[in-house]
Amino acid sequence: MTELTRAMAAADQPVAIFEAIHQTVNDVVGVTLFTIMRLNREKGVAERIFSNMPEAYPAGGEKPMEPNKWTEIVEEREQTFVANTIEEIAEVFGDHELIQSLGCESVMNVPINIRGQVVGTLNCLNVAGHFTPERVAASEALKVPGALAFLMAQQAEE
């Protein structure tokens, strides 16, 4: 985790910490597409604050937060959401065609909880069937670095 330690000390926040989180996530579970979304309950949207594919998914993009299976699992139960086929992704994400066009057919959304509330998610996408029970279990180790990223982003905005 020395990469995260170096990133935390870097002046160019939150970019440095986001890039280090991306590398950490890739090392732990493997990702093709990685984004970080912050939940904005006032506006009823999830705001993208980082993407490793900014051409397709730029920072600043938003998705409406609609009540569905995803919100029940991630927001209400504060559990990791996994969909290992494009059909499962299509059930909850309207942008499933774009996701598929990028070579991704599975998703794992890791909720980040700070002070008793889910503040956002680490969104990991890869080929169909990628997010095995072992990778989902390994994703638990991403929650503390994820919380660090959200806190660093918040501090950088103040």
Q: For residue 139, what is the DSSP state?
A: G
Tell me the mean pLDDT in the region 35-45: 95
CATH number at residue 93: 3.30.450.40
Tell me the mean pLDDT in the region 109-131: 97
Tell me the mean pLDDT in the region 75-80: 95
Tell me the mean pLDDT in the region 39-46: 94
Instruction: Indicate if the pLDDT at residue 128 is higher than 80.
Output: yes
Q: How confident is the model at residue 142 (pLDDT cuts 50, 70, 90)?
A: very high
Q: 10 Å Cβ neighbour count for 100?
A: 14
Range of the structural domain that residue 150 is part of:
2-157
Residue 34's nearest CA partner among 158, 139, 157 is 139
Tell me the mean pLDDT in the region 76-103: 97
Query: Average pLDDT of the chain?
Result: 95
Q: What is the pLDDT of residues 5-33, one digit of tens each?
A: 899 899 999 999 999 999 999 999 999 99
The token pair at 92 is: 């909850």
The token pair at 57 is: 């998914």
Instruction: Indicate if the pLDDT at residue 71 is higher than 70.
Output: yes
**How many domains, the chain?**
1
Task: Please tell me the pTM assigned to this model.
Answer: 0.95
User: Which residues are CB-neighbours of 118 under 8 A, at least 6 positions away?
Assistant: 39, 74, 75, 78, 111, 112
Strand duo 81-83 + 106-114: pairing: antiparallel
The token pair at 79 is: 């559990």
Helix (H), strand (E) at residue 37: strand 33-40
Tell me the mean pLDDT in the region 109-120: 97
Q: What pLDDT does 155 receive?
A: 86
